[in-house]
Amino acid sequence: MMAESYAVLYDKISFKALIFVAALAYFSLSFYWVIQSIRWQALMISEYPFYAAEILKDPVWTVIFYTAEVVAGPISVYSRGVAGFLALYLAFLFLRKGKSVLSQIRGKVGAALAFEGGYFLALIPSVVEMVYLFFESERVWYFGEINGLVALVVGGIPCFVMIVTVPYVLLKLRSKIVHDTPNQEIVKWSCIVGVTYLYVVFWFTYTMTWLGTLIPWPARAQPGIEILWNPLALTSFVVTVVGLFLIATYGLMTTLPAIKKLPVELNLRRIGTVMTALGGYFVFMLALYFLSGGYSAQPTAWMEIIGPHNADMWCMSFLALGLLLLTIKSKIKG
């Protein structure tokens, strides 16, 4: 399944342990959101008569809201929760048995990828919800005044782009793995998945969140572009819009030979650089979040997404794994 050049990593207990740590972080965050979604569903279902009649009021809006927020949203979270559990289980097997398990876990790896794809596909009703809010912004959303343009920029457009890109590459990789495709094809599609996450899930989504934050929204104390006069906000903006783009582009340059299936090798140190930079980005953003006083001090769209509603903070675990790869001289054949 894997190239022989990976053997330099198989015998390193530190590598296997850090893979397990990354899987544990992914599972832990997904499990946290599963618990929150269960509580949210229970509340919204038990209080449906009140919310439908007194808060949401309009029947069409009630159906759209409940479909997106109470049905599809939790399904998305539960799907990633299953993916997280499978990832943790597979990482545990790899930690215990090393490369001997790799040929035996294709099906479970494929299942994890499928559930991760389901996480994004379940966002389809959310796109409908955001488009509806754009045209009907007088509706109550999360029980407060909504800015329809902010909803579209921060939620609708990024979700749509993720839906049409990420599940496809995940399911394509799954197909290559479960059907015992030659290693070169698996490496190719693994690289495509990685680059898609870098550009779409991270750079594009977070950049759109910042663009939405630059739209004035007085009801949320969101001043507009004036927020960039704050040095911490400006730093966060530049590091996100420019820094994440550079990380993604370096990742593309690193993996492009494998994507093109050229007879060259992937450099583990360059991959380590990408992982270190990505993990470092999330550590840095978390530090800026707390230095800025958190969401309570700045209740903007950006502070909400990067803070209390961030589903990607598990990527901080990439920092240690990337630093380990920076110490390895070997390369991976594509």
pLDDT tens digits, one per residue of 116-142: 999 999 999 999 999 998 988 766 666
In whole angstroms, give the CA distance from residue 93 to residue 106: 13
Predicted local confidence at residue 6, as pLDDT: 57
Identify the band that residue 143 occupies on the pLDDT scale cut at 50, 70 and 90.
Answer: low
C-alpha–C-alpha distance, residues 139 and 186, integer Å: 47
Decide if pLDDT at 1 tops 50: no
* Nearest alpha carbon to residue 213 among 221, 226, 205, 224: 224
Which range (7-21, 158-172, 279-293) has the least confidence? 7-21
- CA dihedral of 232, 233, 238, 240, whole degrees rounded to 10: 110
Closest C-alpha to 265, from 328, 334, 329: 334
Mean pLDDT, residues 306-326 taken together: 93
Rounded to 5, what percent of the chain is helix, strand, coil? 80, 5, 15
**Packed helices 157-178 and 106-121: angle between N→C axes, nearest 10 degrees:** 160
| Residue matched to tokens 């488009």 | 131
Is it the case that residue 3 has pLDDT exceeding 90?
no
> Span 263-272, mean pLDDT?
84
pLDDT of 2 > 50? The answer is no
For the cut 50, the answer to whether the pLDDT of residue 334 exceeds it is no
When pLDDT is averaged across residues 160-164 and rounded to a whole number, the result is 98
Mean pLDDT of the chain: 91
pTM for the full predicted model? 0.93
Q: Can you tell me the distance from the alpha carbon of 70 to that of 67, in angstroms, rounded to the nearest whole number?
A: 6
**Which pLDDT tens digit goes with each residue over 37-67?**
999 999 999 999 998 888 888 899 999 999 9
pLDDT at 281 over 70: yes
pLDDT of residue 231: 96
Q: Residue 8: pLDDT above 70?
A: no
Q: Report the percent of the chain where pLDDT is more than 70.
A: 93
